[in-house]
Amino acid sequence: MKLTQHKLMNNSFSDKFNIKELSITLRRRRFLVLGVSCVVMSLVSLIAINTKSTYQSSMQLLVSSDANTNNQASKLPNLIADEISDINSPSVDYTSQVKLLLSSKLIEKAIILLRPYYPNITIEDIQGKNINAQPTGLSIEQLEDKIGTNNLPLQVLKISFIDEDPIKTKRVLLALQQVYQDYNINHQKERLNKGLAFVNARLSQLQQEVRQSEKNLEYFRRKHNILDPEAQSKILLQSLAEVQNQLQTNRAQLQDVQARYTNLEQAITSVSHQARIHSRLNQSNSYQTLLNEFKKTELTLAKEQQRYTDESPIIEQLKEQRQNQLVILKREANQLISDIPVIPSENEQIEGINPQLIQERTQLQTIILGLLANAKSLAETEQKIRFEFSKYPSLIAEYNRLLTSVQTKRKQLEQLLQTQQSLSLKIAQGGIDWQVMEEPSIGKLIGINRLSLLLGGIAISPILGIAAALSWGMFTRTIYSAQELQQLTNLRLLGSVPKLAPRGFKKWLPNLSGNKQNTIASSFGETDSWLPCHETLDILYQNLNISKYPLPFKSLMFTSALSGEGKTTLLLGLAASAARMHQRILVIDANLRYPNLHKTLQLSNDWGLSLLLLDETNTHIHNYIQPVHPLIDVLTAGPKPDDTIKLLSSQRMKELLKKFEQTYDLVLVDAPSILGTADARILAGYCHEIVMVGRMGLLTQSDLMQAQEILSHWNLIGIIANGVRSYQQL
């Protein structure tokens, strides 16, 4: 279904390029074409009336820079070179140059030259203003960048002046040319004076800085009694290395002597202890007696071993005796030597020790004392040198700073003295230079000619109108013919109803209203004289009767995609056609939100469908129905309820429709638009058949497709084309 709709829409779009369809489209939107054409022509005419002739004169100005100052400044120190470059920079800031050329200061000087010719001229007149939407005044345009000699950038500026007087345009530019040339000369003189003043001031200042730097360096040397801290620090470093080597050698010698002294002490102590033990044992009678007995046993054992073997009892007895005597002898010796000190007194040592050992020990003691004294002296010397050396990093840093300052200042002074004379001659050639390349001439006419503007407006206004009409149709995709309506929906076209004439419609309303009961009682077949297009409505009614096969319907709902498509009018016309066929009709206004049927028929809406749905009894239904014809009854919408969805979706609504279908031959339900609310969708489920009404020129393709998609879920029998013009009918 969607594929078919898309195909039909594409076919409809391609048909717009058909000549016949194009003419029909333009005829439909003739008022839009005429309106757009009139608006465009009015605007063009207004512009042509307010447009005044303007003239433009121009001249070309070459902005260049000289590199002599920069070349000379490059030989100077960075600080001085920066200062010179600030005075005469070779790089051109063209934005600043344009602002300077347009400045009020220079324009005011040009105004003084123009006063004899134009006494009332002001700065605003030259700077520019809009007169009748036409820009006038001074403007500057950058034409091109060039590279001149010494690879310096050049810029060509086009200076233009627009005014209503062609002579004035030339005079203004001539005055500005003279002002620019005078300013250029004066500015070069100022640069010369400023440059020379700076060099002289800088020279005197630099001489003072050199003298002050030298004084600072001399004061530093006197204060610290040193000429060159770096050289002195190297000497201290060498002295520190020598002291450290001596200290290391002294420590090695001390370790060696101390080792010799320790060994000698141990030897003296050992000899002295052995001598005292031997003396004590010799002096003990008990020890000597035990020793003699032990020796006798040893002698006896030796003799008996010559006679007997080791397994002999005599030998074993002698060995046991010897062992016992040896134990007793050791015990006695231990008791005798236990109270002898390991380190004897000096007198005992001297008595039992060799005098040479004592003399050698004394010499080693003397050497050790000398080495310790020397190590202490070297450590103190090392500490002093280190303390002295710790001061030198700050001294060296300060000395280097002072020395560098003196050297730098001297170098700057020397360079400044060398370049003073040449810089004073060349500095005037630096900076920005303005040269006129093209002289101004009498202003030429610019802008649009009035006649050409009017002729162009006459030619383009209908084109814009046609384009607007076609664009409007392309974007809105409004349906204008019954044939297009049928092609897009692929539904049965029940009929094409032309637009009803307002006069005939007004004559028709009183004959169907409840306020003219005497007229209603007249013959209903006489409606030919006051119901417009009744034959079309009769045909429409017959088409509806044909659609009854195979099953007849009793309830028919009229709806539309949008509101205002004329479904109420068509519904009343079908009711009239059915009445002429002697059918008893009930017309129900089911648009509870925005009821309109009672206004059309001039009936009271104090009671109606909304109240009937709330009344659950069926005994008073006839009280809610208003007859407008012997065969036509009307049930208005009634007062607007709080919740229309709740009422329409109630079981009461379904029961009422069934009861009405039993009472009347045909029940016509005037439902709201399908896209507006959900009311029509609820009613569609209660009615046997559904008819959709589409007004030509109001309904769009997207709305039609959306409404058809919604109604396809119920019994949609066809569509009625309403408001079809004579050339649009099938």
Report residue 479 as tokens.
């349906």
| Highest-pLDDT range among 239-253, 256-270, 661-675 | 661-675
pLDDT of residue 585: 92
pTM to 2 decimals? 0.42
Minimum mean pLDDT range among 154-168, 349-363, 513-527, 695-709: 513-527
Phi and psi, residue 438, nearest 5°: -140, 125
**What is the spatial distance between Cα 631 and Cα 583, in angstroms, rounded to a whole number?**
7
For the segment 51-103, what is each residue's pLDDT rounded down to a tens digit?
666 788 888 888 776 544 444 444 555 545 555 554 444 455 677 778 888 88
Q: Are 722 and 696 in contact (CB under 8 A)?
A: yes
Mean pLDDT within 620-626: 87
H/E run at residue 32 = helix 30-50
Nearest CA-CA partner of 612 in 645, 648, 587: 648
Q: Are 152 and 67 in contact (CB under 8 A)?
A: yes
| Highest-pLDDT range among 216-220, 238-242, 548-552, 627-631 | 627-631
pLDDT of residue 341: 64
The counts of H helices and E strands in the chain are: 27, 14
The domains of the chain are located at 2-51+448-476, 247-388, 502-516+526-728
For the segment 246-256, what is each residue's pLDDT rounded down to a tens digit?
888 888 888 88
Nearest CA-CA partner of 512 in 629, 604, 626: 629
Amino acid at 595: P
Mean pLDDT within 228-250: 84
pLDDT of residue 302: 82
Minimum mean pLDDT range among 115-124, 410-419, 683-692: 410-419
Residue 693, number of CB atoms within 10 A of its CB: 25
Nearest CA-CA partner of 670 in 635, 705, 722, 707: 635
Mean pLDDT within 231-235: 81
Mean pLDDT within 192-207: 74
**618 pLDDT tier (thresholds 50, 70, 90):** confident
pLDDT of residue 589: 93
Mean pLDDT within 326-348: 69
Report residue 382 as tokens.
């090392």
pLDDT tops 50 at residue 297: yes
Secondary structure (DSSP) of 650-685: SHHHHHHHHHHHHH-SEEEEE---TTT-SHHHHHHT
For the segment 524-541, what is each residue's pLDDT rounded down to a tens digit?
333 333 333 467 777 877
pLDDT of residue 590: 92
pLDDT of residue 203: 77
pLDDT tops 60 at residue 612: yes
For 502-516+526-728, CATH number out of 3.40.50.1170, 1.10.10.10, 3.40.50.300, 3.30.70.1400 equals 3.40.50.300
pLDDT of residue 339: 64
The percent of residues above 70 in pLDDT, for the chain, comes to 73
Mean pLDDT within 380-394: 82
pLDDT of residue 313: 85
Burial of 66 (0-12, 13-18, 19+ CB in 10 A): buried
Secondary structure (DSSP) of 254-309: HHHHHHHHHHHHHHHHHHHHHHHHHHHHHH-HHHHHHHHHHHHHHHHHHHHHHHS-
Secondary structure (DSSP) of 573-606: HHHHHHHHTT--EEEEE---SS--HHHHHT---S
pLDDT of residue 384: 85
